[in-house]
Amino acid sequence: MSRPEFEAHYAELKRELEALDAELAHSKARKHFADVRQRIETLYETLRENHLLLHTVLENSAASIYAKRKDGRYTYLNRGMELLCNVTREQCLGRTDFDVFPIEIAEQYRGNDVSAMMTGKLLESEELTKTPTGERRLLLSRKVPLISESGEVEGICGISTDITELRRTELALREAVETLQRERDNKLLNVEAATASIAHEVRQPLAAIAASGDAGKRFLAMKPPDLDEVRAILDQIAANCRHASEVFDSISALFKKVDHSRRPVDVNEIALGVLQSVHGQLRDHGVATETELAPDLPLVDGNQGQLRQVVFNLIHNAIEAMATTTDRARLLRITTQPQGHNAIAVAVEDSGPGIDPGRLNSIFDAFVTTKADGMGLGLAICRMIVQRHGGRLLASSDGRAGARVQFVLPVGSLDTISAHNSSH
């Protein structure tokens, strides 16, 4: 019952009471009548206050609240439903959902209404609606049957809440959790990965030292000893020892937030130095080398040990990749060149079997390897080092004749490189 109807009924009842009061003016029942009248006034005031409270709550609720008869015709809807469903009371009262909403929306509303009335219990479901702008919104609707004193179902009343943003937040949260899970799974900064990476990187210079030691013993056993060769081998051992120390320094620096050891670095000098350090490996594997180093390259601000480790890893990987190549010459080619005005590129190419083009995007991930006995950490560390220097690491191959791995570093001051890194 709306408030105007409520007030009209009370006004009519009050007029009848006044007329009856006049007739009982000289009656002995007057006192009793006055008592009844007072009770009616009290009951009316209580009813009016309750009505006002209910009206205020319903009209100021953010939820959509409504009531319908058994045949689906609306008997009540609040302001929340008008706003949420883009309708008015005039459009809905006395009409069904099929008179007001698009057929697909009306069918879901009516289907859930009928289910609630048939079960006689609270029904919770998700429903769709459209906003004034045409946007689809998702509602969580709770509907309960209206049952008379005789037990007959007379209709339903419902409350629907917009849960669109909640669902979007849940989806975003799930995606964030999945992203964090992937990052955790691929993260190198854990004890196991750090231990494995150290073992992997240190094994390379230690193996070179061991090979040089064996060669030195052979030259010393000659009659007379070839002291010039032994001296060269000792120099090579010393260089590999320094390289092992640099490996430890480089890996340690990766786990520091601030790296104070950066200075202007000549990448041509690094490339030639690494080639010299792996001369024995190249010879033992029958690998010829070509270099095309651009003159007058600008210096880059960086950690020389870390960048040397990148070049060493790329060259070592290329040598290993060509170990099974027998149908063509084993050739290692190193090039350096400017990239525009603000960067330089260093590339290592080999004539091995190449890399499956479908795997090029994943070879820099941790624990991804193309080697039967590899650990898949070398290239992951290379990428981490290059990214720390504000650069990028790329690979290309047709999967048949060799591979090319290239890293590009920005040229500029340390502040410029740090700003470049932050923007990415």
Residue with tokens 């690094």: 270
* Helices 191-220 and 304-321, axial angle in degrees (round to 10): 70
pLDDT of amino acid 417? 45
pLDDT over threshold 70, residue 245: yes
Q: How far apart are CA 82 and CA 94, in angstroms?
A: 15
* Residue that wins the pLDDT comparison between 18 and 66: 66
pLDDT over threshold 70, residue 160: yes
pLDDT of amino acid 201? 64
pLDDT over threshold 60, residue 304: yes
- What rounded mean pLDDT belongs to the chain? 80
Q: How far apart are CA 256 and CA 381, in angstroms?
A: 14
pLDDT (average), residues 89-97: 92
* Residue that wins the pLDDT comparison between 417 and 141: 141
Report the range out of 250-259, 272-281, 335-344, 398-407 with the highest average pLDDT: 335-344
pLDDT tier for residue 193 given thresholds of 50, 70 and 90 = low
Among candidate residues 351, 247, 332, the one with its CA nearest the CA of residue 292? 332
Task: Give every strand in the sheet of 153-162, ordered side by side.
Answer: 74-77, 64-69, 153-162, 136-147, 123-130
Backbone torsions φ then ψ of 367, nearest 5 degrees: 65, 20
Q: Are strands 403-410 and 392-397 parallel, antiparallel or unpaired?
A: antiparallel
Please, which residues have CB within 8 angstroms of residue 272's CB and are 6 or more apart in sequence?
291, 293
Question: What pLDDT, in 10s, does the model give residues 39-83?
Answer: 777 777 877 887 788 788 888 888 889 999 999 999 999 988 888
* Residue that wins the pLDDT comparison between 27 and 149: 149
* Superfamily the domain 63-186 falls into: PAS domain (3.30.450.20)
Note the pTM of the prediction, 2 decimals.
Answer: 0.44
pLDDT tier for residue 374 given thresholds of 50, 70 and 90 = very low
pLDDT over threshold 50, residue 211: yes
* Residue that wins the pLDDT comparison between 154 and 34: 154
Query: Which segments of 221-303 does DSSP mark as H helices, in order?
Result: 227-254, 267-277, 279-284
Among candidate residues 51, 49, 54, the one with its CA nearest the CA of residue 65? 54
151-155, 270-274, 372-376, 398-402 — which is least confidently predicted? Answer: 372-376
Q: Which residues pair with 77 in a beta bridge?
A: 66
pLDDT tier for residue 154 given thresholds of 50, 70 and 90 = very high
| Domain positions in the chain | 1-60, 63-186, 187-423
pLDDT of amino acid 234? 84
Calculate the CA 153 to chain-centre distance. 49
Q: How far apart are CA 182 and CA 188, in angstroms?
A: 12
Please, which residues have CB within 8 angstroms of residue 126's CB and are 6 or more apart in sequence?
138, 139, 140, 141, 163
**What is the fold of 187-423?**
Heat Shock Protein 90 (3.30.565)
pLDDT of amino acid 371? 46
Is there a contact between 379 and 407 (Cβ–Cβ < 8 Å)?
A: no
Question: What pLDDT, in 10s, does the model give residues 101-121?
Answer: 989 899 999 999 999 999 988
pLDDT of amino acid 344? 95
pLDDT of amino acid 92? 92
pLDDT of amino acid 325? 87
Question: What pLDDT, in 10s, does the model give residues 341-356?
Answer: 899 999 999 998 888 8
pLDDT of amino acid 320? 86
| H-helix or E-strand spanning residue 76 | strand 74-77
Among candidate residues 250, 251, 204, 197, the one with its CA nearest the CA of residue 367? 197
By the 10 Å C-beta count (0-12 exposed, 13-18 middle, 19+ buried), 424 is classed as: exposed
Is there a contact between 365 and 380 (Cβ–Cβ < 8 Å)?
A: yes
Q: Which residues pair with 409 in a beta bridge?
A: 344
